[in-house]
Chains A and B, each alone.
Chain A
Amino acid sequence: MDIYFWVFAVMAVGAGVFMISSKDPLPSALGLLTVFIALASLYLHLNAPLVAIFQVTIYAGAILVLVVFVIMLLMTPGERLGEVQRNVSYRIMGAILGLCATTLIGLGLKGVYDLVGERSLPEGFGSPNQFGELFFRNFLLHFEVASVLLLVALIGAIYIAKKKV
């Protein structure tokens, strides 16, 4: 049994449950922070230090800080959140969607495992150099497509924000 994995897996799931069940928005955000950090620890365990660090820098360090910024700016969600939470059909829909998503991810994982199986890691696996090689040699097109997508999202956000002014 892999103790390292179990410690951080339990931590991630526990923090996730805490995040969605907490009534106060800021502790909820801190729960999400714990999830991110537990996931980063799991990436480290999987020999992917670069992914782990990016997880912390981008998700925990930038995106979540923005989320917290909005939480502090709007203070409390007020009655609207309670209304949504009490709505039974929303709850049932959420449960069904969550179950479907979990099944999909589970099946996907099994598929990947059947395809790849267990194998030993090549030399220098997960190092920044190898990451760069993969990104800018083998998967350059995919990388560029992803960056164009982000650019489109950025322009769209500016457009939507502009209309309201």
Chain B
Amino acid sequence: MDDWLIALIKVVFIWVWVLLIAVIMTWVERRGASMIQDRLGPNRAGPFGLLQPLADGIKLFTKEDIVPDKAKKILFSLGPILFALPAFSAYAVVPFGDKIVLGGKEIILQVSDINVGFLYVVALGSMAVYGIIVGGWASNNKYSILGGLRSTAQLISYEVPLGLALLAITLIYGTFSLREIALAQQGTFLGVFPNWGIFKQPLGFILFIVTAYAEANRVPFDLPEAESEIVSGYHTEYGSMRLGLYLFGEYVNLCTLSALIVTFYFGAWHLPYINMAAFLGPISYGIASFLVFFLKVSFFLWLFVWVRWTVPRFRYDQVMGLGWKALIPLALINLFITALAIQLTI
């Protein structure tokens, strides 16, 4: 019974936490955009405009919910849900801290440590596309279908280098479990470098972050919604809270991808050269590891915003060319070199 309760608390806690981050991200995105474009952005609601997401939420909820006449009604309302669900489910295997001891009981800060965690993440990453396809198809609109079509092609192309980059990581750490990968990144190697994935897999990191941007449909890979070409892509016909769910799902997705980047390449909750567990009490260590993890995540969330307002969009054939002619060969070479290095050092 106790274990059930702990698991439930963990699920609810991380869910609410990710929702909170997604809400704040809408504010960060708008303020970040205005910072980069040398203007002010929303700064009226509350201090620094922090209550702006709340105002936006109220607006979206109270707006009239319009379903186009020729749309396929059931699929139309299913689309946003299918999009948002996988993004949340991925958090089930992400370790968001080390462990915390409460009342003599050791609690791992991860919802579930399954031994196929890495594959679970890849599987869920490929599920999100159904939300976009269904939304695009059900809208019965040329631009929406074009957006959905682009999204499928892009996803199939970028899933491969993503998987290959992660495969090199599992070769190095010898496990599929995300917690074990995170634990293995403590300490240093060769005397100077922290034991982080980025120092062992620099090429793999670049591949992963590029494919992560493509998976999240972010600029420079936001072809499915490219507003200068196909109006708004798959969510052209959506309005009110259904559109809100799409936009919200995107931020949850960003949060998940940032957490994965940190887990695989940036030492999860470890600080470089400092072993927090050595001088912190059991409870404060748990909280500190959680905070360190989300400090790193917030940096990558900011990077997503930064890139969005800095880099222009690719052309469609450039996206496909980059995926098939550059990323996949590079990922294969990276995998080969990693395997060779491991073979030679064992």
Name A33-60 residues within 8 Å CB distance of B: 33, 49-50, 53-54, 56-57, 60
Q: Check if A57 sits within 8 Å of B126, measured CB to CB.
A: yes
Q: Check if B127 sits within 8 Å of A56, measured CB to CB.
A: yes
Among the listed B75, B120, B176, which residue makes an inter-chain contact with A26, where contact means beta carbons less than 8 Å apart?
B75
Among the listed A27, A30, A65, A127, which residue makes an inter-chain contact with B155, where contact means beta carbons less than 8 Å apart?
A65
Indicate if B77 sits at the interface (CB-CB under 8 A). Answer: no
A61 contact set on B, CB distance < 8 A: 122-123, 125-127, 159
B129 contact set on A, CB distance < 8 A: 65
A24 contact set on B, CB distance < 8 A: 72
Indicate if B115 sits at the interface (CB-CB under 8 A). Answer: yes
Contact code string A55-77 (vs B, CB < 8 Å = 1, else 0): 01100111001101100110100
B141 contact set on A, CB distance < 8 A: none
B122 contact set on A, CB distance < 8 A: 57, 61
Among the listed B72, B115, B152, which residue makes an inter-chain contact with A49, where contact means beta carbons less than 8 Å apart?
B115
Q: Check if B130 sits within 8 Å of A30, measured CB to CB.
A: yes
Indicate if B231 sits at the interface (CB-CB under 8 A). Answer: no
* Chain B, residue nearest A24 (CB): B72
B145 contact set on A, CB distance < 8 A: 72, 75
Indicate if B247 sits at the interface (CB-CB under 8 A). Answer: no
Q: State the CA gap A13–B323 with chains docked (Å).
A: 37
Contact code string B131-174 (vs A, CB < 8 Å = 1, else 0): 00110110000000100110011011001000000000000000
Q: Check if B123 sits within 8 Å of A72, measured CB to CB.
A: no
Chain A nearest CB: distance from B90 CB in Å? 13
Q: Check if B123 sits within 8 Å of A56, measured CB to CB.
A: yes
Indicate if B114 sits at the interface (CB-CB under 8 A). Answer: yes
Among the listed B75, B115, B123, B153, which residue makes an inter-chain contact with A127, where contact means beta carbons less than 8 Å apart?
B115
Q: Check if A49 sits within 8 Å of B114, measured CB to CB.
A: yes
* Chain B, residue nearest A131 (CB): B116
Chain A nearest CB: distance from B293 CB in Å? 24
Indicate if B276 sits at the interface (CB-CB under 8 A). Answer: no
A68 contact set on B, CB distance < 8 A: 130, 133, 152
Among the listed B119, B120, B152, which residue makes an inter-chain contact with A69, where contact means beta carbons less than 8 Å apart?
B152
* Chain B, residue nearest A68 (CB): B133
A108 contact set on B, CB distance < 8 A: none
Indicate if A128 sits at the interface (CB-CB under 8 A). Answer: yes
Q: State the CA gap A66–B149 with chains docked (Å).
A: 10
Q: State the CA gap A130–B204 with chains docked (Å).
A: 27
Q: Check if B115 sits within 8 Å of A53, measured CB to CB.
A: no
Q: Check if B123 sits within 8 Å of A53, measured CB to CB.
A: yes
A33 contact set on B, CB distance < 8 A: 130
Q: Check if A53 sits within 8 Å of B156, measured CB to CB.
A: no
Q: State the CA gap A33–B145 with chains docked (Å).
A: 20
Q: State the CA gap A142–B309 with chains docked (Å).
A: 51
Chain B nearest CB: distance from A29 CB in Å? 9
Q: State the CA gap A65–B129 with chains docked (Å).
A: 8
* Chain B, residue nearest A71 (CB): B137
A57 contact set on B, CB distance < 8 A: 119, 122-123, 126
* Chain A, residue nearest B120 (CB): A53
B115 contact set on A, CB distance < 8 A: 49, 127-128
Q: State the CA gap A53–B126 with chains docked (Å).
A: 12
Q: State the CA gap A60–B130 with chains docked (Å).
A: 10
Q: State the CA gap A62–B333 with chains docked (Å).
A: 23
* Chain B, residue nearest A127 (CB): B115
B114 contact set on A, CB distance < 8 A: 49
Chain A nearest CB: distance from B123 CB in Å? 4
Can you spell out 23 A-B residue pairs with CB atoms less than 8 angstroms apart?
A: A26-B75, A26-B137, A30-B130, A30-B134, A49-B114, A49-B115, A53-B116, A54-B119, A56-B127, A57-B119, A60-B123, A60-B127, A61-B125, A61-B159, A62-B126, A62-B159, A65-B152, A68-B130, A68-B133, A72-B136, A72-B152, A128-B115, A128-B176
Chain B: residues with CB nearer than 8 A to chain A? 72, 75, 114-116, 119-120, 122-123, 125-127, 129-130, 133-134, 136-137, 145, 148-149, 152-153, 155-156, 159, 176
Given A27-B75, A54-B119, 10 more A-B residue pairs with CB atoms under 8 Å apart are A30-B75, A30-B134, A57-B119, A57-B123, A60-B127, A62-B156, A62-B159, A69-B152, A69-B153, A127-B115
